[in-house]
């Protein structure tokens, strides 16, 4: 009885400490002296709003709000990355893979990433991209084809990179485990493997990795446009792409499969992102919107897809033969219709 009472008091004490602890962990520290000062008077130097401090900001650090070390996070991501690559159809074209990886690595260099990224392309028509804990990042070919400009592709990739930088997956897993403490006393629920699954790349991934809380999605929007901006891209392209996706879905529901269904862009999120761009990102004289290389890669991908379609049609369709005058089993009447002739 005494043990049970002590346990109840322990859980209650943790519950009282939890909100303030999360608030501290979710917000990056004011960072080190290495962070450059900002020229914007509305932005505190070294804060999450300071784009000049990118790379020197503490994002999603370990503590009461995140029970997972960076090493553990990488191990979890690697485990699921192996399953994805064993079951999904990976694009083997070296030119397209190199291009997408180069775009992604440039964004990573201009982000708050604490881990190296592995970026690969999945051969799937679904308009999507997703990043696992630890920097294992996958871009669908459908996303490349849906983007009209390189900056639109970069915007979606920057959003997913932001989820990893802010360590949203392990922070969300930690919160779920806190919630389980009262209902599963004396049991530490580790690994996050038992949570609801999401069917991505034909395997079951924990929904925790892909469907984040509203606050986490907003934070990924906020950080993603910063990473785009720091990399030289027009941050407005991120908003433009999602508005285009929404317009297509309204015009023809279901035409984009389940594109971004795990993290839909709601009107208030788009409006908030626009406000943040105006508030914290100083205007530049020029931005990267698109490149001829993007057009070449997209054209190359279209050719590959058409070739695959032709090959599939050849193997699955019926084989036809044109009739010839030498056909001994057929003669033609005056009206052009074939008629059968009995053999002698």
> Which pLDDT band, with edges at 50, 70 and 90, does 337 fall under?
low
| pLDDT at 74 (0 to 100) | 93
| pLDDT at 233 (0 to 100) | 97
3-state secondary structure the chain: CHHHHHHHHHHHHHHHHHHHHHHHHHCCCCCCCCCCCCCCCCCCCCCCCCHHHCCCCCCCCCECCECCCHHHHHHHHHHHHHHHHHHCCECCCHHHHHHHHHHHHHHHHCCCCCCCCEEEEECCCCCCEEEECCCEEEEEHHHHHHCCCHHHHHHHHHHHHHHHHCCHHHHHHHHHHHHHHCCCCCCCCCCCCCCCEEEECCEEEEHHHCCCCHHHHHHHHHHHHHHHHHHCECCHHHHHHHHHHHHHHHHCCCCCCCCCCCCCCCHHHHHHHHHHHHHHCCCCCCCECCCHHHHHHHHHHHHHHHHHHHHHHHHHCCCCCCCCCCCCCEEECCCCCEEECCCC
Look at residue 170 and tell me if it is in a domain.
yes
Instruction: Choose between 5 and 253: higher pLDDT.
Output: 253
Is 231 exposed, middle or buried (CB count within 10 Å of its CB: 0-12, 13-18, 19+)? buried
pLDDT at 61 over 50: yes
Average pLDDT over residues 123-135: 90
> Which pLDDT band, with edges at 50, 70 and 90, does 162 fall under?
very high
| pLDDT at 270 (0 to 100) | 81
| pLDDT at 36 (0 to 100) | 45
Between CA 322 and CA 152 the distance in angstroms is: 48
Q: Which of 10-14, 146-150, 298-302 has the lowest mean pLDDT?
A: 10-14
Q: CA torsion, points 175, 179, 184, 189, in degrees to nearest 10? A: -10
- The closest alpha carbon to 122, from 161, 83, 74, 150, belongs to 83
Average pLDDT over residues 160-173: 87
Look at residue 5 and tell me if it is in a domain.
no
Rounded to two decimals, what is the model's pTM?
0.71
Q: Which of 103-117, 145-159, 236-250, 314-328 has the lowest mean pLDDT?
A: 314-328
Q: Which of 26-30, 110-114, 217-221 has the lowest mean pLDDT?
A: 26-30
How many separate domains does the chain show?
Answer: 1
| pLDDT at 69 (0 to 100) | 87
Q: What angle is formed at CA 46 by the lines to CA 40 and CA 50, rounded to 5 degrees?
A: 45
* 41-57: pLDDT as tens digits: 778 888 888 999 999 99
Q: Which residue has the tokens 């934070």?
A: 219
| pLDDT at 324 (0 to 100) | 54
Q: Are 280 and 43 in contact (CB under 8 A)?
A: yes
Look at residue 21 and tell me if it is in a domain.
no
Q: CA torsion, points 297, 302, 304, 309, in degrees to nearest 10? A: 170
> Could you tell me the end-to-end alpha-carbon distance of the chain, in angstroms, rounded to an integer?
104
Instruction: Choose between 137 and 44: higher pLDDT.
Output: 137
Between CA 234 and CA 166 the distance in angstroms is: 22
| pLDDT at 286 (0 to 100) | 93
Look at residue 323 and tell me if it is in a domain.
no
Q: Which of 183-197, 222-236, 291-305 has the lowest mean pLDDT?
A: 183-197
Q: Bridge-partner residues for 132, per DSSP?
A: 136
Look at residue 29 and tell me if it is in a domain.
no
Look at residue 320 and tell me if it is in a domain.
no
| pLDDT at 255 (0 to 100) | 52
Q: Which of 31-40, 159-168, 266-275, 302-311 has the lowest mean pLDDT?
A: 31-40
Average pLDDT over residues 195-213: 48
Beta strands 330-332; 203-206: pairing state: unpaired
- The closest alpha carbon to 146, from 228, 307, 220, 257, belongs to 257
Most confidently predicted of 131-140, 165-174, 303-312: 131-140
Residue 331 main-chain phi, psi, to 5 deg = -130, 165
Classify the C-alpha dihedral 34-39-45-50 as positive or negative: negative
Look at residue 335 and tell me if it is in a domain.
no
Between CA 234 and CA 284 the distance in angstroms is: 9
> What's the domain range around 112?
42-308
Most confidently predicted of 167-176, 315-324, 326-335: 167-176
| pLDDT at 195 (0 to 100) | 31
Look at residue 176 and tell me if it is in a domain.
yes
| pLDDT at 312 (0 to 100) | 60
* 170-200: pLDDT as tens digits: 887 877 765 554 443 333 323 333 333 344 4
């Amino acid at each position: 009885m005494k043990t049970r009472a002590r346990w109840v008091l322990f859980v209650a004490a943790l519950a009282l400490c939890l909100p303030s602890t999360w608030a501290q962990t979710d917000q990056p520290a004011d960072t080190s002296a290495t962070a450059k000062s900002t020229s914007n008077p509305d932005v505190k130097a070294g804060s999450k709003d300071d784009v000049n401090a990118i790379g020197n900001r503490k994002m999603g650090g370990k503590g009461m709000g995140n029970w997972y070390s960076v090493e553990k996070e990488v191990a979890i991501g690697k485990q699921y990355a192996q399953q994805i690559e064993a079951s999904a159809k990976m694009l083997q074209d070296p030119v397209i893979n190199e291009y997408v990886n180069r775009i992604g690595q440039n964004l990573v260099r201009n982000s708050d990433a604490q881990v190296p990224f592995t970026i690969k392309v999945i051969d799937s028509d679904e308009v999507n991209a997703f990043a696992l804990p630890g920097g294992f990042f996958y871009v669908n070919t459908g996303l490349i084809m849906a983007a009209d400009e390189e900056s639109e592709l970069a915007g979606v990739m920057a959003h997913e990179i932001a989820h990893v930088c802010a360590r949203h997956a392990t922070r969300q897993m930690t919160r779920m485990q806190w919630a389980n403490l009262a209902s599963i006393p004396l049991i530490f629920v580790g690994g996050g493997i038992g949570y609801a699954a999401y069917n991505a790349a034909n395997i079951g991934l924990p929904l925790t990795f892909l469907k984040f809380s509203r606050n986490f999605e907003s934070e990924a929007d906020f950080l993603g446009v910063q990473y785009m901006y720091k990399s030289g891209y027009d941050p407005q392209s991120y908003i433009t792409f999602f508005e285009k996706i929404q317009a297509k879905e309204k015009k023809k529901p279901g035409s984009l499969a389940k594109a971004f269904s795990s993290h839909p862009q709601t009107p208030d999120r788009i409006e908030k992102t626009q406000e943040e761009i105006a508030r914290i990102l100083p205007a530049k004289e020029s931005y990267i919107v698109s490149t001829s290389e993007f057009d070449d890669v997209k054209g190359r991908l279209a050719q590959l897809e058409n070739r695959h379609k032709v090959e599939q049609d050849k193997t699955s369709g019926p084989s036809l033969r044109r009739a010839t005058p030498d056909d001994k089993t057929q003669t033609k009447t005056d009206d052009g219709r074939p008629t059968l002739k009995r053999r002698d």
